[in-house]
Amino acid sequence: MNISAEEIASVIDHTVLSPDSPGSAFEEACRFAVLHGCASVCVCPFAVKVCAAALAGARVRTCTVIGFPHGTSASDAKTAEAAIAIEHGADELDMVVNISKVIDRDWKYVERDIAGVTNTAHNAGRIIKVIFENCFLDNSMKIELCRICTALGCDYVKTSTGFGTGGARLDDIRLMKENVGPEVKIKAAGGLRTLKDVTAALEAGASRIGCSRTAAVLAEII
C-alpha cells in the first residue's frame, strides 16, 4: 500500500491507556496528535477533560473507553460512564462488550448492554465503537456481534482492547468486514506496532487504527 505519513496519521487513534501513564503523557499525546493530524487521542476516562481542553479548536477528536478493559461493568454503569465522558468532552467512545455474556451466548443481555451506550452516544451526536476482544471468542460469536452492532447502528466494531491475550488479526478484520452492514466501519487495535502492521490492517478492511506506537510507525515514512 502506497500511503503517506499524513494519510496514516489521519486514521490513527493515538492511544494512551496504560494504567501507569503519568499525567503528562495525556497532554503530550494531544500535542503529538495535533502536530501530525491524527484522527483522535484515545485516553482513560479520567483524562477526558484535560484532553478535550488541549484539543479545543483542533480537528483531532477526544476519544475514551467505556467498561475498559474487561467489559464486566454493569450495563447501567457503562451507560453512566458514557454520559459522564460525553459531559467531560469526549467525541468518541470505545466500549467493551461483556465478554462473559458473549461466551454464554446471552445475546439479549449483550444487545441491551451495547444499546445503552450506543443510544447515549448517538443521542449526544457522538461516535460509538464496540470492542469485541476477539482473542476470547470463536467466529460464530464474532459474527453475531457484527449482526447486533449493525442492527443497533453502531459506527464501528473494533477487534481488541490491546489488554487481552491477543490483538488485531487480519483474519478477524476480514471476518468483521464481511459480516457488518455497509455503514459500520472497522477499527483494528492491539499489537499494531509497525507501518507494515498498520497498512496490512487497512488493506484487510480497517478504516481506523488504534495505536500507542504512532511515533514509531510514522517515523518509518517521515
Neighbours of 72 (CB within 10 A): 13
Distance CA 162, CA 11 (A): 17
One-letter amino acid of 5: A
Cα–Cα dist 188/176, whole Å? 10
Residues 162, 189 contacting (CB under 8 angstroms): yes
195, three cell numbers: 507501518
The C-alpha angle 152, 124, 31, rounded to 5 degrees, equals 110
- Select which of 94, 113, 155, 172 is catalytic: 94
Which of 129, 172, 187, 197 is flagged as catalytic?
A: 187
Out of 113, 158, 185, 197, the active site residue is 158
Active site residue 94: yes
List phi, psi (to 5°) of 188. Answer: -105, 135
Catalytic (active site) residue 158: yes
**Is residue 172 among the annotated active site residues?**
no
Cell 457488518 belongs to residue: 180
Neighbouring-strand partners of residue 92: 63, 127
Rounded to 5°, the CA angle 46-8-92 comes to 30
Burial of 136 (0-12, 13-18, 19+ CB in 10 A): middle
Q: At what angle do helices 139-152 and 170-179 cross, to 10 degrees?
A: 40
> Which residues are the active-site residues?
94, 158, 187
